[in-house]
């Protein structure tokens, strides 16, 4: 390595050359001295005297100046057949400053005998014992070597340069003939300032062999660590003389990893592990002087990854790697790397680049690895070891602060499916921080479950194992996050195809399923993108969109929700939600066949995922849409149909709502079934129904044609009890509905409103228990009996009010299709004065209905009341008919009604004329007689033209008549009036009856004893009268002249006038009027009083 032909530079001789010269001179002097006595001391070691030793020291000083030598003593030994030997004891050399540069306890040299005969001293073999060598490396990585002293003997930038300088020293002529050097019990002290450590090695062995062409050296050392475990080292050095080419090798065993990490950039990253390392390395210099790559093998024993003292160790069983380090490119070729641990085992290779050097050592490693086989088997993590047949990984490792960045990793399974991963791991004083993400395109379920850590949400893993049998997992994403002092955070998301899913144990499996699963350390979500289920009734339901969600899987038992999406036949979906633990239809007391059609339903279920869940422990909210619905069950005995309905269900009730038809009748409302044992078999329907004559007929309420017209809406409520006819309640404001009852001349227009309430039972036929109707001009309440074959049999109305003219009870009886109903009034009151025009007169309703009447009271006119009336009325051509009645007091009479121009004319006949007049408050003093009274309506309300004829009546106790008779001095007649009464054979009156009073146009009363004529008025409100007329006494004789006078007036008579209050009128008589014959009485008669005048 050193060329001895080079010119010697003009500078002070280097220390090592001075040492070499010193050795030569010393040996020569010693050999010259010993030459004379060699023969006498053959075979034994002879101690040289002090003067010889001093002479040798002086020679050394002269030869090496300014280096000085010290010897403790010297021995010489000659043996037959061997080289002569010289032993120098305690040899020390010091430089000019007095620093010790060499210290050798004992130096023994074998001298060539042939060279001695030629006068030359040639050392062949050197042997040293207990030598002390100090090797130093400073912070920059530069080396120096001190041979037994503190002052460096050799200095260089690398260990190879140190060895190069040693090679140069051995090239000196005096040393070049040395064949071997052996150092036993070598003490080596290695001071590494860059690592901050000192190693002290004892009882080492060094051998050096030299030929003319090459030089080689070996060093064998043993190092004991703190635990007393030995580490073995073996170093080798070879070089070709005359060439810069050289090689340096080292082998070692059980060396602590941190002792190796600081020795080369290639080993720097071993500083984060704690493990014994065995191996071998080799380096060198090429013939061109360039450094050759460092190559070797490292066999790492069981240990731990410990980036910092406070970091939780990551244990491994061992590792082995074959590498080659190119210092020029700062590249480490990893030809083969094997790692074995309980967690991870892999075999691969690749390359790594060393970057960002600090004090000669890298702090960043960027590696690209190819993986031949990988096995993951963390303790208790996977059910079975997870193996991969190959893969690749790109990573970056940073030492300070420690971090591992996994840019990309690809792992291939036996089917060549790839799992891709990336992540980052860092450490802090608190511990590890890990973020790992993985992705796979497709994977079988069995493979996925093998990759699912058994300790990560084991209950959910078991649920997936037992309830999801899918063929292929797709687009799987996994993420793991670890933070010191916190629970691991984990997320797995993957799709699945060809799956069979059981979202609840009691539900049938969904087949042909595909969807997504998301799992975190706390949450589990399964979303079904596609899937069908065969319901218990055999029909198929589409479950696409169903989601199973457990927000906190760490809770025991876990509580979750199932967002169940169902699309299929209505009975099939109802059979699904009727499965345990929901049993919705069973709890509602209904079957799954309540309706046919298609349903799109979403059921939100909340329950604990454990065995034995009871129905009441399941929270649920069901909502959906029903299409093309038909049912004969929802409304028993009725055909129910709807294009679209809304279904809802809660723990309280099941409801179906929307627009539908019931037996073709439009209905908008809902069916409700309360949930609970007490509601079993009981449900209700509420909504609005379209009312019309046709719709009523559809329900069996076939009213006479024209009785109902128009359309309106009513509120309908049905109470449905299994095995019973549905109870219903119908109410309406009658807006848009016209009603007409010709029999009572009442009608309601479509523009007015009212109130209709009907309660009944839907059966065959329908039964109406009660009905209440109020509208302008009519108020009625009662019930309706429908006929078996349809139509109305009768309407019983105990309470009816029609306008102001009727208030009573009525029974309407059907008489067949197209015919008006028969009316029977069973009680109440009729006021003829308020009778509507449609019933009054000849221009009546024109209908043809007959009314049987049994009235309690009939008001004919103000003050004229009939009671206990019983008869028949007809509206044919107007109101007409006949009846029998009574007046207050009990007098009976017969009456007849007939239409007239301005209303209904009344004719009353009675054989109790006096009693009828008294009961009618017309005249209270008459007794007996026969009466015929006709009242013909006039134009205007309450106005009648009256005619009354009475025969054979007696009058008595009339104060005004007695006073009148007294005034005309008819004493006998006064006595008759106070006795049995005056007898009148004929009484006639022509009068006008108005609401204000009675105007008597002409009246007369004649009898055997008396004749009276009368004209005038009686005012009802003032109860005053103003009457005038003629009294004709002895009328039987006097009536002879009545031919020439009015009826009731004789040939001779007295004119009179009654005026004043009806109970005490004033009477005035003109006595002289007797002198005026009847024929001339009209000449002097004044006009009678008139009402309003």
CA atoms within 13 A on the CB side of 1034: 10
Q: How far apart are CA 1039 and CA 1032, in angstroms?
A: 8
Phi/psi at 163 (5° precision): -65, -30
What sign does the CA torsion over 529, 534, 535, 538 have? positive
Phi/psi at 165 (5° precision): -65, -40
**pLDDT for 790:** 66
Q: Which of 102-111, 503-512, 807-816, 1080-1089 has the highest mean pLDDT?
A: 807-816
Structure token pair of residue 51: 């003067």
**pLDDT for 3:** 45
**pLDDT for 540:** 92
- Whether 299 has a pLDDT exceeding 90, the answer reads yes
Examine residue 401 and say whether the peptide bond preceding it is cis (omega within 30 degrees of 0).
yes
Cβ neighbours for 134, distance < 8 A, ≥ 6 positions apart: 145, 146, 149, 150, 188, 189, 190, 191
Structure token pair of residue 275: 């493990």
**pLDDT for 455:** 65
pLDDT (average), residues 801-822? 82
Measured in Å, how far apart are the chain's first and last C-alpha atoms?
170
Stretch among 176-185, 538-547, 1082-1091 having the lowest mean pLDDT:
1082-1091
From the list 243, 242, 269, the residue with the least C-alpha distance to 258 is: 269
With vertex at residue 255, the alpha carbon angle to CA 252 and CA 261, rounded to the nearest 5 degrees, is 100
pLDDT (average), residues 879-907? 86
Q: How confident is the model at residue 269 (pLDDT cuts 50, 70, 90)?
A: confident
- Whether 354 has a pLDDT exceeding 90, the answer reads yes
The contacts found for 187-192 with CB under 8 angstroms, 24 or more apart, are 187/130, 187/131, 187/132, 187/133, 188/133, 188/134, 188/135, 188/221, 189/132, 189/133, 189/134, 189/135, 190/134, 190/135, 190/136, 190/137, 191/134, 191/135, 191/136, 191/137, 192/136, 192/137, 192/262, 192/263
pLDDT digits (tens, 9 = 90+) for 365-391: 999 999 988 888 766 667 777 888 999
Q: Do 436 and 420 meet the contact criterion of CB atoms below 8 Å apart? A: no
Q: How far apart are CA 689 and CA 670, in angstroms?
A: 11
pLDDT digits (tens, 9 = 90+) for 272-295: 999 999 999 998 887 776 778 889
Mean pLDDT score of the chain: 80
With vertex at residue 402, the alpha carbon angle to CA 401 and CA 407, rounded to the nearest 5 degrees, is 120
**pLDDT for 348:** 93
From the list 846, 827, 826, 829, the residue with the least C-alpha distance to 838 is: 846
Strands (E), 901-958: 903-910, 926-927, 930-937, 944-955
On the 0-12 / 13-18 / 19+ scale of CB atoms within 10 A, 980 is exposed
Which H, E and C letters describe 400-458, residue by residue? Answer: CCCEEEEEEEEEECCCCCEEEEEEEEEEECCEEEEEEEEEEEEEEHHHHHHHCCCCCCH
Q: Do 1030 and 1013 meet the contact criterion of CB atoms below 8 Å apart? A: yes
pLDDT (average), residues 727-743? 87
From the list 222, 223, 248, 216, the residue with the least C-alpha distance to 235 is: 248
Structure token pair of residue 978: 């106070």
597 alpha-carbon distance from chain centroid: 27
Tokens 């796979």 correspond to what residue? 440
**pLDDT for 319:** 93
Higher pLDDT, 593 or 930: 930
pLDDT digits (tens, 9 = 90+) for 755-781: 999 888 877 667 888 889 899 989 989
| Rg (the chain; Cα; Å) | 70
Cβ neighbours for 966, distance < 8 A, ≥ 6 positions apart: 974
Structure token pair of residue 775: 């509208």
Q: State what percent of residues in the chain have pLDDT above 90.
A: 16
- Whether 9 has a pLDDT exceeding 50, the answer reads no
pLDDT (average), residues 888-905? 86
- Whether 611 has a pLDDT exceeding 60, the answer reads yes
pLDDT digits (tens, 9 = 90+) for 421-442: 999 999 988 888 999 998 888 8
**pLDDT for 1047:** 60
Q: How far apart are CA 621 and CA 600, in angstroms?
A: 14
DSSP 754: -
Higher pLDDT, 457 or 311: 311
Q: State what percent of residues in the chain have pLDDT above 70.
A: 81
**pLDDT for 499:** 75
Helix axes 15-37, 50-64, angle to 10 degrees: 150
Q: Helix, strand or coil for residue 916?
A: helix
Stretch among 34-38, 211-215, 222-226, 470-474 having the lowest mean pLDDT:
34-38
pLDDT digits (tens, 9 = 90+) for 532-557: 888 888 899 998 998 988 888 778 78
Strands (E), 193-229: 197-210, 214-224
Phi/psi at 395 (5° precision): -145, 160
- Whether 324 has a pLDDT exceeding 60, the answer reads yes
Q: How far apart are CA 182 and CA 819, in angstroms?
A: 147
Helix axes 971-978, 959-967, angle to 10 degrees: 170
Helix axes 15-37, 159-170, angle to 10 degrees: 40
Q: How confident is the model at residue 19 (pLDDT cuts 50, 70, 90)?
A: low
Higher pLDDT, 881 or 244: 881
Structure token pair of residue 641: 């149909």
Q: How confident is the model at residue 7 (pLDDT cuts 50, 70, 90)?
A: very low
Stretch among 2-6, 119-123, 128-132, 293-297 having the lowest mean pLDDT:
2-6
Q: How confident is the model at residue 266 (pLDDT cuts 50, 70, 90)?
A: confident
- Whether 846 has a pLDDT exceeding 60, the answer reads no
From the list 1043, 1045, 1041, the residue with the least C-alpha distance to 1084 is: 1045
pLDDT digits (tens, 9 = 90+) for 64-88: 566 677 888 888 777 666 677 888 8
**pLDDT for 32:** 47
Q: How far apart are CA 373 and CA 44, in angstroms?
A: 68
- Whether 643 has a pLDDT exceeding 90, the answer reads yes
């Amino acid at each position: 390595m050193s060329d001895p032909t080079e010119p010697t530079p003009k500078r002070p001789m280097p220390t090592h050359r001075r040492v070499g010269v010193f050795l030569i001179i010393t040996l020569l002097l010693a050999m010259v001295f010993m030459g004379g006595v060699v023969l006498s001391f053959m075979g034994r070691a002879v101690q040289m005297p002090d003067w010889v030793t001093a002479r040798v020291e002086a020679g050394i000083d002269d030869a090496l100046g300014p280096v000085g030598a010290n010897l403790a003593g010297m021995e010489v030994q000659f043996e037959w057949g061997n080289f002569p030997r010289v032993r120098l004891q305690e040899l020390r050399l010091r430089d000019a400053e007095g620093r010790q540069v060499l210290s050798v306890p004992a130096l023994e040299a074998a001298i060539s005998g042939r060279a001695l005969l030629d006068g030359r001293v040639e050392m062949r073999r050197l042997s040293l014992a207990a030598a002390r060598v100090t090797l130093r490396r400073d912070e920059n990585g530069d080396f120096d070597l001190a041979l037994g002293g503190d002052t460096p003997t050799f200095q260089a930038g690398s260990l190879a340069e140190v060895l190069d300088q040693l090679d140069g020293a051995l090239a000196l002529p005096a040393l070049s003939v040395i064949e071997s050097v052996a150092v036993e019990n070598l003490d080596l002290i290695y001071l590494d300032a860059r690592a901050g450590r000192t190693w002290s090695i004892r009882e080492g062995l060094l051998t050096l062999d030299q030929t003319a062409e090459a030089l080689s050296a070996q060093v064998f050392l043993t190092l004991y660590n703190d635990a007393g475990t030995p580490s073995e080292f073996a170093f080798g050095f070879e070089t070709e003389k005359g060439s810069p080419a050289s090689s340096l090798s080292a082998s070692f065993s059980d060396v602590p990893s941190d002792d190796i990490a600081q020795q080369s950039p290639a080993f720097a990253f071993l500083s984060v592990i704690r493990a014994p390392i065995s191996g071998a390395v080799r380096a060198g210099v090429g013939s061109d002087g360039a450094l050759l790559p460092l190559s070797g093998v490292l066999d790492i024993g069981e240990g731990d990854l410990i980036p910092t003292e406070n970091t939780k160790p990551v244990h491994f069983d061992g590792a082995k790697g074959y590498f080659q380090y190119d210092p020029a490119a700062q590249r480490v070729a990893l030809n083969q790397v094997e790692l074995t641990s309980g967690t991870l085992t892999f075999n691969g290779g690749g390359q790594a680049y060393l970057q960002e050097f600090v004090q000669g050592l890298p702090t960043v490693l960027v590696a690209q690895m190819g993986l031949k086989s990988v096995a993951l088997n963390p303790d208790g993590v996977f059910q079975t070891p997870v193996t991969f047949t190959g893969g690749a990984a790109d990573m970056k490792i940073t030492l300070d602060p420690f971090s591992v960045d996994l840019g990309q990793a690809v792992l291939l399974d036996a089917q060549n499916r790839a799992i891709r991963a990336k992540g980052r791991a860092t450490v802090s004083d608190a511990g590890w921080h890990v973020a790992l993400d993985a992705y796979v395109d497709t994977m079988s379920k069995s493979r996925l479950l093998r990759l699912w850590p058994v300790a990560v949400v084991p209950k959910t893993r078991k649920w997936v194992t037992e309830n999801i049998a899918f063929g292929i997992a797709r687009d799987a994403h996994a993420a793991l996050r670890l933070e010191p002092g916190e629970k691991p955070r984990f997320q797995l998301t993957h799709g699945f195809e060809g799956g069979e899913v059981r979202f609840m144990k009691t539900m049938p499996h969904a087949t042909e399923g595909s969807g997504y699963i998301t799992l975190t350390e706390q949450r589990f979500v399964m979303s079904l993108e596609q899937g069908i289920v065969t319901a218990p009734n055999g029909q198929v339901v589409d479950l696409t969109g169903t989601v199973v969600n457990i927000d906190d899987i760490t809770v025991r038992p876990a509580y979750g929700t199932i967002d169940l999406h169902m699309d299929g036949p209505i009975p099939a979906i109802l059979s699904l939600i009727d499965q345990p633990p929901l049993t919705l239809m069973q709890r509602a007391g209904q079957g799954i066949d309540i309706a046919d059609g298609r349903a799109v339903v979403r059921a939100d279920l909340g329950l604990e995922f454990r065995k034995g869940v009871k129905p009441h422990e399941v929270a649920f909210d069901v909502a959906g849409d029903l299409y093309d619905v038909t049912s004969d069950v929802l409304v028993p005995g009725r055909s129910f149909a709807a294009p679209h309905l809304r279904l809802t269900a809660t723990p309280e009730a099941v409801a179906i709502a929307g627009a539908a038809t019931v037996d073709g009748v439009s209905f908008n409302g809902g069916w409700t079934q309360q949930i609970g044992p007490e509601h079993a078999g009981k449900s209700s329907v509420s909504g609005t129904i379209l009312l019309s004559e046709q719709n009523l007929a559809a329900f069996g309420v076939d009213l006479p044609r024209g009785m109902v017209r128009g359309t309106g809406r009513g509120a309908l409520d049905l109470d449905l009890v299994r095995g019973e006819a549905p109870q219903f309640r119908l109410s309406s404001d009658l807006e848009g509905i016209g009603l007409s009852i010709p029999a009572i001349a009442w009608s309601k227009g479509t523009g007015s409103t009212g109130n209709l309430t009907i309660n009944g039972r839907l059966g065959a036929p329908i039964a109406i228990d009660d009905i209440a109707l109020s509208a302008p001009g009519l108020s009625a309440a009662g019930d309706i009996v429908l006929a078996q074959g349809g139509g109305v049999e009768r309407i019983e109305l105990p309470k009816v009010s029609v306008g102001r003219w009727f208030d009573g009870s009525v029974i309407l009886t059907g008489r067949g299709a197209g015919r008006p109903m028969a009316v029977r009034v069973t009680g109440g009151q009729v006021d003829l004065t308020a009778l509507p025009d449609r019933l009054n007169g000849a221009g009546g309703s024109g209908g043809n209905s007959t009314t049987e009447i049994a009235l309690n009271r009939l008001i004919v006119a103000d003050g004229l009341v009939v009671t206990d009336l019983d008869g028949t009325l007809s509206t044919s051509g107007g109101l007409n008919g006949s009846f029998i009645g009574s007046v207050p007091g009990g007098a009976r009479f017969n009456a007849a009604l007939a239409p007239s121009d301005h209303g209904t004319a009344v004719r009353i006949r009675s054989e109790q004329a006096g009693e009828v007049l008294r009961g009618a408050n017309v005249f209270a003093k008459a007794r007996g007689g026969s009466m015929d009274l006709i009242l013909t309506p006039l134009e205007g309300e309450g106005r009648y033209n009256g005619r009354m004829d009475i025969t054979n009546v007696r009058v008595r106790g009339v104060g005004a008549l007695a006073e009148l008779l007294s005034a005309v001095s008819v004493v006998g007649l006064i006595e008759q009036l106070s006795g049995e009464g005056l007898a009148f054979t004929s009484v006639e009156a022509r009068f006008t009856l108005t609401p204000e009073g009675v105007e008597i146009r002409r009246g007369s009363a004649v009898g055997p004893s008396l004749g009276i004529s009368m004209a005038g008025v009686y005012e009802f409100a003032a109860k005053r009268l103003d009457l005038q007329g003629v009294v004709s006494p002895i009328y039987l004789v006097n009536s002879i002249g009545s031919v020439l006078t009015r009826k009731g007036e004789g040939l001779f008579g007295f004119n009179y006038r009654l005026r004043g209050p009806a109970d005490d009128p004033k009477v005035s008589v003109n006595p002289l009027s007797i002198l005026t014959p009847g024929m001339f009485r009209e000449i002097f008669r004044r006009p009678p009083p008139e009402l309003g005048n």
